[in-house]
Structure 1
Amino acid sequence: MFRLNLKIALRNLWRNKVITSINIGGLAIALAAFILVTMYFTYETGFDKENPNYNEIYIVGRQLPDFKTNYTPPPLGKAIKAEMPEVVAVGTMKMSFFEFPVSSDHGVVFLSKCLYLDYAAAKMFNIKPTVGLTKPESTTENLFYLSNENYKTLFPHNKNGQPEMIWLGSKSANMTGKLSGSIFADPHSNITFDAISLMKEVGIGENYGYNNYSTYIQVKPGTDIQELEAKINTLYKKEMLKNGEDPNNETFKATKAFLDPLKNQHLKPKAGTDANYKVLIALSVLGILILVIACINFTNLSIAQATKRAKEVGVKKVMGAYRFQLAFQFLTEILIQCLAATILGLIMAEIILPKFNNLFVVNLSIWVANSALFWQLPLILIFITLIAGIYPAMVLSGFKPALVLKGNFQTSKQSYWLRNSLLVVQFSVAVVFIIGLLIINSQLKYMRTQDIGFKPEQVVYIKNLAYFVSPSKFDPIRDKMVKIPGVKSVTVTNALPDGSDSGKNKYTVDGKEQSLSFTDVDFDYFETLDIKIKEGRTFSREFKTDTANSAILNEAAVAKYGLTSPIGKTIKGCQNKEYKIVGVIKDFKALGFEKAVQPTIYAINDPCGNPKTEIMLKIEESKMSEVLSTLKSQWPEINKLDGDNFRYQFLDEMYGKLFKKQEQLQSVFFAAAILTIFIAILGLFAFAKYITTGRMKEIAVRKILGASHLQIFKLINSSFFVMVLIANIISWPLAYILTKKWLETFAYRIDLPLFPFLISAVLTILLTIVTVSIQANSAVKANPVDALKYE
């Protein structure tokens, strides 16, 4: 019996090649997209899950009046370990993003993510060197390890990761060091690095004023986290008071410690952005919707073809077949189609995967031994078979033998309304994607064309090893670079305007204390970036006090203090250092468009600032290549510490990376819009073919009675036109809510335009009319005699 049913199934599929191809092709396209989304979702939600202590690790953060941060002082970890019995381990670490070269006789690598951590942190995160994890014997001992990838580059013949000697910086500087070995850097972890410096204890001698470390704790299973968080907050306040903090200070009162689980750190940390989480959710919803649309197509077309199987069902029921047997037969047919679609979808996913990896900067692979896809795919196959096939199977197996064998069969009103409803749902989803794509395009266009307040074009950032604390240290290097024809200006700073956070400190003006971002700069900083001055002046060599105690605020900082005449006022900062405000600059979007401009203070001399290492040059556009070539050849003379390691980046390219997430979303919506429209049009094409074929006799009679071609086209298109119009009306409110929510994630955004809503309606209606008219054309041109000769 099974063999007979299989033959019947294959014969029916072959007879309806067009419908079968549309079913399998549409489902395969949707499955390819869904497979990629499933792989990406599994990857993004799997960070650090290999850690045996995954559910017991938390990071200690601080909530301040204006922001949250995961950076804490190093003594806090010691205090938590000593006071909290439910905390079984405390690990402290600090990441350095300062790039420096390390070389051997075989090559050179540039390290930009060097992780300083203590032994407890290494154990907590299961970080193991190739030669085994060794605890440093003293607080002065420092074990330095390279990631396996970097180690192999420098020592390709050392397969065991043994200790080696290396050069730090330029070889000509002859600064050597001992490499303790290699270490595995898990790319699927929140703790990433290209080198680590392992110490017995991190942050020795630093007090509660050094808030630039990450403190992780491992708790006992079953610990009440809210209670522990309250205890840590009380302990933190007590330790701060011991350190000399004023208990009446408003900032101190508003500051509190919090705990954030390790599982939150990649996608939605309390302190940080949840952009990755939003993109993942958007991508997952799109993948599910595309698959749902394909299943709707499948269901619609299967119901539409029900009349062709009616007599077969009637005969089988007369011969004694039960309904569940017929339902099983039709589900088997659908399973065959779904299986073919799954295989085709896998092939498509494999072809698309390289571009997908490039877009999302991941390295996913379908054919990996431990891939979750091997158990997810059978579940997906069963799911789509049931979703796409259960209703058609019930409809087909439920025909009444007496009616269908008399030829009086017609599908029920319920099936009619279901088919039309599913078609409306398909186009509703497509309209949402079209509107979303157009609004994302408008926001990105706004971001690319809006005045950001500075000009990163023709500004080159040169990577450098030297620290420039004062202008006198930087002047000899500046003088050499300025002499190169084509160099317009040169400066150095501690932070680039590329979305980087330069840090915050407390500053007081007229007795009012506020947290401000601070950027340590040098002469010509504002001129190099073409930042406009609002009032006062920029730093100048003509004023000797500028290198000692002058400061410049931005408009946001002036507004935060409520100053009306800021020039000449005194602002007190770190270590009670007093600055005289000499200028106010116009706000510029150093952090991009998602975050508002931060209130910022700029100074040349900052006792609590970060080292100034970021060299920037403004170069004439016509002489860019010549200047860079000259700099490379002269760099060993200009900056001996770097020697022949001349590296640079263009600032406008670095700033453009701030748009990366939105560009990803744009690409996703573009693909989703194309796929949903394509699948919906495929379904509409097949559905229109079925409807038109079923009305051939009606069309023939109307032609005989004098109906024109235009009237018949109008007749066939009218019902589809109404359905697409209803789809637009349904989807507009949903699209409005979703796009409005998305735009609210930007501090600087467009007003929600009406144009995308109108475009989506016009586009979907035109596509519907064209698609249906193509199918109706053959019926309109047919000879009425051919349709009526057997009547």
Structure 2
Amino acid sequence: MIRNYFKIAWRSLKKQPFFTFLNIFGLAIGMAGSLLICLYIYDELNHDNMFVDADRIYRINTDIKFGGEVSENSEVSAPLAKTVVKDIPQIEMATRFRNNYSLLIRKTGTDTNIKEEESTFVDESFLDMFGLDLIVGDPKTALKEPNTLILTKTAAEKHFSVNNALGQTLLLDNDVTYVVTGVINDLPKNSLLRNHSVFMSMASYADSFVNNWGNNNYHTFIKILPSAKAEDIQEPLQAILKNYILPFVQALIPGITEENFLASGNYYNFSIINIKDIHLHSNRFPELSPNGSIQNVYILSFIALFLIILASVNFMNLSTAQSLKRAKEVGIRKTLGSSKIELISQFLAESGLITFVSLIIAIIIAAAMMPLFNDLSGKAIIIPYTNPIFWSVLLLCTIVLGLFSGMYPAFFMSRFIPVEVLKGGGERSAGGRNIRSLLVVFQFAISVFLIVGTLVVFQQLDYIQSKDLGYTKDRVLVINDVSVLENQSQRESFKEQVQQLASVKSTSLSSFFPTPSNRNGSSFFAEGAMEQDKAIQMQNWRVDYDYVPTIDLEIIAGRDFDRQFRTDSLSTIINESAVRVLGVTPEEALGKRVTNDLGEENPTFYTVIGVVKNFHYESLRENIGALGMMIGDYSNALAVKINAGNYASTISSIESIWKTIVPGQIFDYYFIEEQFNATYKAEQRLGKIFITFTLLSILIACLGLFGLAAFNAEKRTKEIGIRKVLGANVSQITYKLSIDFLKLVGIAILVSLPLAWYAMSKWLEDFEYRIEMEWGVFALATFLAVTVSILTVSFQGIKAAIVNPIKSLRTE
């Protein structure tokens, strides 16, 4: 019987190839798009699952309000790790990371450095905490001694074979020699350590032993006991503030107590987050690796659901529309004794056959599009062909989809009344027009929603690109790793030689730039106002005398640094946000003195000599905080402002100077504009994904509309012929055939626009600086939806209208 169902289903599908193609192609496109998105979401949801006991590993965060600034930090102070293990019995162990970012490495006895983009100091408990095995080396002692490190396999193979790695010596940043004590496998691409390749022993980092509760520079992870719960940790963790941090701060700021600290509106709160939640639920500074966003996962989940529902709705619409052609077949079957269950089974067999054929085509499409999708999403996803769970889930979803898509048409057609359909009253018996109209409204409502989403995302990206950032991001080249030059004198010499190039406007040595780079926040106090409620939490950037003109900052009060003034070595230039915290005007701020030497008998004061206009040194998701710039020789990069012209020639000239001074060393550079754009890579990817799947949704909706329009024109063939005989022209007939569909599209637009406005308003809330959604966005979305629907429907209308009326009137 089942074989007979599928045989009849195959014959039925062959009889109407056009509508069969529309059904299969529409379903395949929707399934392929949903499959790609689901693989992406699966990858996002399974970050850091690979670590042993991941359910018990948590990172400690801090939320601090002090000195007029609110900060959500992913790092804590150095002594916290040892303290929580000692004071909180539910914590089994702790380990710390002290990010060192990029590192130049060369094997001793060689001349050429190799750059590793991410390195970090780690405690000796690191391997045990995360359950990582060494390919070579002893995990118990690998990170115990100072000046030892472990490498990932890829990093190690750049210098020597893995089997010969143990005991090899490496020179780091042309300064310190380390011994290789272990090699681990490359960390998975969906782990928070995916970009790290060098792990140096924390015993090598002197600051990690200092009992300083005031600096938060350490990512600290804890593993709780199997019997403990996360909420058990919160209260004893908060006690750290009273028992350790406040006594430390009281030695620096006499008179501060827990009561007046909280009464002034300040706070210092600890929290913990499971390691598996960090990727999607943490947006703190700084993160060990760039994180995703649960919001984007929700958005993509809805898009995947929309695509599959759109494709399913197409099937329902076209199947019910085609039911009139099969009304007599149903009537005869019922007359000959077929039960309702048998008819439903027959039609479900047809939908199942279409769905499984669509699945095969969908997998082929997804496999073909996977490289493009990976490039779009920044992932390295593969279809897990050998995973039985994947195939089981895929087949189960296909069966569910087949039932969902075919259930309504099956029940709809099984309700035909034999007497009616055999008399030719199939149209009266069929009904279902309201349902089909509702499904068309649903399809286009989704499409319009996605069109609005795409337009808003791209408008926000355009706003980011065109906003006045307060500095010049174009034509500024940054040369990295200037620290390989032996001393400040040699760095100045390199700077001067670059400055002499005709195509170079100005140069500046620093490690601090508006795009992602070093950051250093400190608590400052104005002279004579050392109370805790007068603190100014401020970025402390070390720059040189040419920084302001090179980055093109605007001075709104006072002056720039000047070599002619020896006292400028103890001067500072602050931004407008710092002035606001001081509670004065920019002019009044000039001459004020500030210090960050808390508790010192003779603190060093910096005199404010200038105020710069606020500039966005963080992303546009953040407010602009207080910032002060001081003259200093801590510089790892050279910023070069280039005149308009041949950039390639200028870069080549700078590289020649570099190779003359430090032959064999890497010449690494980037443009500030490139770094700025990279900051919003997630939004750019979301925009591209939006537009891709919006086009897919429109395509699927149009396939359904196209099929319904074709069916409608075919059903009204005689009517069209009569109208032509009575004098109607092509445009009148096209209008008559199209107007009903356009009404449905209009209803879809009215339904979807408020929903789209609400959803995208929520998305924009993630940005402190954002666009205001204007009526033009919704007008453009409406125009696009109406235009696409008119083109789709009119094609069938014109095709039907130009047929010879004689042929139309002969049609049965």
Same fold by TM (over 0.5)? yes
Evaluate the alpha carbon distance shift between residue 570 and residue 235 of structure 1 in structure 2; reply closer, same or farther with a 3 A threshold: same
Q: CA deviation at 1:253?
A: 5.2
Evaluate the alpha carbon distance shift between residue 695 and residue 403 of structure 1 in structure 2; reply closer, same or farther with a 3 A threshold: same
Give the equivalent residue in structure 2 for 1:332.
Answer: 349
Q: Which amino acid aligns with 2:103?
A: E
Of 151, 158, 163, the match for 1:160: 163
CA distance in 2, matches of 1:146, 1:790: 79
CA deviations over 1:545-577 (Å, ceiling 9, x no partner): 112x21111112212332121111112224443
- Note if contact 1:137-1:200 (Cα within 8 Å) is conserved in structure 2: no
CA distance in 2, matches of 1:283, 1:214: 30
Give the equivalent residue in structure 2 for 1:431.
Answer: 448
Considering only aligned residues, what root-mean-square deviation do their CA atoms show, in Å?
A: 2.7
Give the equivalent residue in structure 2 for 1:269.
Answer: 282
The answer for unaligned runs of 5 or more in structure 2 is 251-255
Of 431, 437, 440, the match for 2:457: 440
Q: CA deviation at 1:413?
A: 7.9
Of 297, 302, 321, the match for 1:304: 321
Q: Does 2:198 align with 1:195?
A: yes
CA distance in 2, matches of 1:588, 1:469: 33
Q: Does 2:772 align with 1:767?
A: no
- Note if contact 2:543-2:630 (Cα within 8 Å) is conserved in structure 1: yes
Q: CA deviation at 1:132?
A: 4.7
SS at match of 1:100: strand
Give the equivalent residue in structure 2 for 1:114.
Answer: 119
Q: Calculate percent identity across the aligned residue pairs.
A: 28
Q: Which amino acid aligns with 2:740?
A: S
Comparing 224-233 and 192-201, the one that deviates more: 192-201
Give the equivalent residue in structure 1 for 2:416.
Answer: 399
Comparing 345-354 and 574-583, the one that deviates more: 574-583
Q: CA deviation at 1:420?
A: 0.2
Q: Does 2:654 align with 1:628?
A: no
Give the equivalent residue in structure 2 for 1:747.
Answer: 768
Give the equivalent residue in structure 1 for 2:686.
Answer: 665
Pairing of 1:6-45 with structure 2 (within 5 A): 6-45=6-45
Of 235, 241, 245, the match for 1:240: 245
CA distance in 2, matches of 1:398, 1:629: 78
SS at match of 1:418: helix
Q: CA deviation at 1:295?
A: 0.9
CA deviations over 1:342-374 (Å, ceiling 9, x no partner): 111111111211121112221111145348633
Residues paired across the two proteins, number: 780
Q: CA deviation at 1:289?
A: 0.8
Pairing of 1:58-457 with structure 2 (within 5 A): 58-65=58-65, 66-103=70-107, 109-136=114-141, 140-155=145-160, 158=161, 160=163, 162-163=165-166, 165-168=168-171, 177-184=178-185, 185-192=187-194, 193-199=196-202, 203-245=208-250, 246-247=256-257, 248-249=260-261, 254-269=267-282, 271=284, 276-367=293-384, 369-370=386-387, 373-410=390-427, 415-457=432-474
The answer for unaligned runs of 5 or more in structure 1 is none
CA deviations over 1:373-395 (Å, ceiling 9, x no partner): 33331132122112211111111
Q: Which amino acid aligns with 1:677?
A: I
- Note if contact 2:324-2:430 (Cα within 8 Å) is conserved in structure 1: no
- Note if contact 1:39-1:373 (Cα within 8 Å) is conserved in structure 2: no
Give the equivalent residue in structure 2 for 1:540.
Answer: 562
- Note if contact 1:460-1:616 (Cα within 8 Å) is conserved in structure 2: yes
TM-score norm. by structure 2 comes to 0.90
Q: CA deviation at 1:275?
A: 5.5
Q: CA deviation at 1:652?
A: 1.5
Give the equivalent residue in structure 2 for 1:50.
Answer: 50
Evaluate the alpha carbon distance shift between residue 411 and residue 684 of structure 1 in structure 2; reply closer, same or farther with a 3 A threshold: farther
- Note if contact 2:482-2:637 (Cα within 8 Å) is conserved in structure 1: no
Q: CA deviation at 1:108?
A: 5.6
Q: CA deviation at 1:174?
A: 9.5
Evaluate the alpha carbon distance shift between residue 3 and residue 135 of structure 1 in structure 2; reply closer, same or farther with a 3 A threshold: closer
Pairing of 1:374-773 with structure 2 (within 5 A): 374-410=391-427, 415-464=432-481, 466=483, 474-500=491-517, 502-509=519-526, 511=529, 512-547=534-569, 549-564=570-585, 565-575=588-598, 576-605=603-632, 611-622=634-645, 624-638=647-661, 640=662, 643-773=664-794
CA distance in 1, matches of 2:183, 2:126: 18
CA deviations over 1:400-448 (Å, ceiling 9, x no partner): 2232223222266861111000001111111112222222222222222
SS at match of 1:119: coil
CA distance in 2, matches of 1:446, 1:742: 15
CA distance in 1, matches of 2:81, 2:773: 48
CA distance in 2, matches of 1:280, 1:138: 38
Evaluate the alpha carbon distance shift between residue 210 and residue 467 of structure 1 in structure 2; reply closer, same or farther with a 3 A threshold: farther
SS at match of 2:680: helix
- Note if contact 1:136-1:142 (Cα within 8 Å) is conserved in structure 2: no
- Note if contact 1:428-1:728 (Cα within 8 Å) is conserved in structure 2: yes
- Note if contact 2:539-2:627 (Cα within 8 Å) is conserved in structure 1: yes
Give the equivalent residue in structure 1 for 2:253.
Answer: none
Evaluate the alpha carbon distance shift between residue 563 and residue 372 of structure 1 in structure 2; reply closer, same or farther with a 3 A threshold: farther
- Note if contact 2:32-2:365 (Cα within 8 Å) is conserved in structure 1: yes
CA deviations over 1:26-51 (Å, ceiling 9, x no partner): 11111111111011101011011122
SS at match of 2:33: helix
Q: Which amino acid aligns with 1:589?
A: H
CA distance in 2, matches of 1:788, 1:723: 29
Comparing 347-356 and 181-190, the one that deviates more: 181-190
CA distance in 1, matches of 2:228, 2:430: 59
Comparing 659-668 and 441-450, the one that deviates more: 441-450
TM-score norm. by structure 1 comes to 0.93
Comparing 495-504 and 343-352, the one that deviates more: 495-504
CA distance in 1, matches of 2:182, 2:371: 33
CA deviations over 1:213-252 (Å, ceiling 9, x no partner): 1111111235343342121111233111332433244589
CA deviations over 1:501-525 (Å, ceiling 9, x no partner): 6132111236221212222211111
CA distance in 2, matches of 1:574, 1:368: 61
Evaluate the alpha carbon distance shift between residue 301 and residue 108 of structure 1 in structure 2; reply closer, same or farther with a 3 A threshold: farther
CA deviations over 1:575-598 (Å, ceiling 9, x no partner): 443211110001112223222222
Q: Which amino acid aligns with 1:20?
A: T
Q: CA deviation at 1:166?
A: 4.7
